[in-house]
A and B are shown apart, each in its own frame.
Chain A
Amino acid sequence: MSQNRILLALTDKEDIRVLTGYLSGVGFELSLTEDGAAAVERSMTEVPTIMIVDMVLPVIDGERLFKIVRHNPHTSKIPFIFISNNAVDIKGFKPGLDSFVSRPLNLEQVDGRLRQAMFQREDAHGGAKGIEGKLSHMSPPDIIQFLHMNKKEGELKLTLGSQVGHIYIKEGDIYNAVFEGVEKEKALYRLLEWNEGGFEFMPKTIDVPKKIHSGTSNLLMEGMRQIDEVKRIKERFPDQKNLLKMKVEPANLPKDLDPVIYDIVKLMKVYARVKDLVDRCPLPDYEVYWTLTEMLSRGFIEEQKASDEETRQGFLSPDQTVNIRERIINNFTGIGNYNYAKIFLLSTSSVLVDAFLDMCCTRIPGLTLTQKTFLSEASVGAQFGEVASIKLQEGMDIVIFSLPIIRNMGPVVKSFSTNLVGLILLWDDDVGADLNELVDAKKEMVALKKCPVVHIFAGEGEKVGLEISYRKMFMIKDSEPIFKLRTQEKGIVFDIFNELFGDLLKQGVA
């Protein structure tokens, strides 16, 4: 099959002139017929990438031609673009793959349909399963070796319960591996360990960039070595659940250390738990553990036992997770269409957002910062949009969505609040900040969504009068707390989220 051959079955001279001129100009190889019977024959001999067909054709009309081609297993995946004066119902028509273009022809529209049909076709081809089986019968290294020797191209999907990993292979070489937000060697080495679950290899064109540059044999040997090493000296590594703290100021670290150490120090500004550090660092797990052990032995960092709350795998218990998920799905109109719910973090400045996230992320297990937030760790830029997420069960996330600049951003707040389930208001005693904008946002959102709200004051003021004025301004009931965000009281973030989720579970929200 030619990659770029289009079979045209057209009778209208103007359509032929316009389309052949345009399509040949953009590099397609064209094959033209003027009746339906010839088009059927050509579709089988040439198997084009796409067919552009007039609904009205001599001998066999467009609809009949479509049925014949679609019923033939050799040609059933060819996308159709119909040219007609108006759209008609055709049995077997697949929206997304097939499409209509009405006269007079608009070349941009034709181009759009072609593009759509080509990508859909690639996806449809990619969906075909090649090999599948159980990892207990054939381990990941064996599968990879087999694909490497046969110079295969496609996607190897490994599944273990709800976990799914992907390895992209081209000409037998591994181009990339992706597993739960990590990629490259780190993901590959984690997947190599699996000895139960299933696998499928789907032959398809791989157009992902090559991110793994070592040869397959070397990768497999190194991966297996690292897995063995981790098992062998596990006791020497810091406990996954524990917290790590810098013992020396990052600026005072020697200048000629392994660059990995500086990367980990940067990460430690955001994450404290060993597991989070290992997960977030792009290097393979063994190398991160080894570096952490090295840093501990040289006295750069110290290991602290985490509190009970901090040692939990997730911030929420399994029961809470299920209940919150049910509450969100059942109580919020239209939320069923979404696989995530939002908590708005509305604040008077992006610096406050950074301070809040810093506290949350170093303490709350299971809360993940988005990559952009992490990259902007200098915390100068405005935190706008998704800044962190908490995973609930069955593919549902709760996303923390930050809008630090409220001024004149009302339509953004309103438009993106469809799946809103909670509101965090954050302000300080900066006299320049416009608290009225924050108050208005609360009024608008509560009227629109009736969602729970928590209030956090991040200023230094302790005057009684100040709290009273805030309560009046934000219309906060006496029974509702105003949390005070202090850097020395990091445990407060648990109270904040407990209050928010507690309210969510209690409230009979609309």
Chain B
Amino acid sequence: MSAANKVLVIAEHDNRQLKKATLCTIRCAAQLGEVHLLIAGSGCAAAAEAASQVEGVAKVLCSDDARYAHPLAAALAPLVTSVAHGYSHLLAPATTFGKDLMPRVAAKLDVAQISDVIAIVSPDTFKRPIYAGNGIATVQSRDAIKVLTVRATAFDPAKVGAGGTALIEALAPIDVPAHTRFVGQALAASDRPELTQARVIVSGGRGLGSAENFHLLDKLADKLGAAVGASRAAVDAGFAPNDWQVGQTGKIVAPELYIAVGISGAIQHLAGMKDSKVIVANNKDPEAPIFQVADYGLVADLFQAVPELTAALG
């Protein structure tokens, strides 16, 4: 957009490859100017190598050090701010990684942070949803450095292996504060795709009635190669874990096919899934608000409809 703009994308990765949300952020960044990528990790050379071949990436800054074995905001913020002044924009995906890190970076730089950007209007003007997506605000930044988190569902991922071979530059690690210690991680083990990366999502609400009944959705999800999601009401009721939550305060998803089962369709849930390409709703209440956004609505008892649908998919 302008030759003067230089954009640093803070990569979320697993040391081997970039997360899809990072690729979407790169696509967004490319609309602003020349894109550099910062990869901080431990044993992350493979991720840096993969990143150097992503479309639109001009340079990769790689800080490979045991200090960055875990992506802690307190450890990464000093590294990001140490290179920030060479850039007009700092971007990260609006995942729990980016949401944790970027406000800390912005405050250190004494600039605003702009969350969940869904469109670039100009290098200083951006669109973002507010009030659970009931409004789309266009905001203009008056700061010298713009710090953004990017909603991945609003941008297609940059092509992997399609770029040239960007220069990989080693970046020296910086002392990390002693006040934070990583204790452990418990990632949900699942053969299913991640919610934010899935092509198909089967999501359950309070209508499922119990955690046991959520297994009904497993069978359907298995048939479709789908991820399983849940409404906040279902998480609140203890039927499903919080990392399944789709909505304003959970994950934002936009799969090709979203099947909402026993979900009434509170605005907070719609905020997380209404950009899905095709929405199917199954609810026994014909007045459920979910039907107002569904492409295909099935008014039926889910305990009959879901097994029938699972069987029909052969």
* A and B co-occur in one complex: no
Binding site for B on A (CB under 8 A): none
Binding site for A on B (CB under 8 A): none
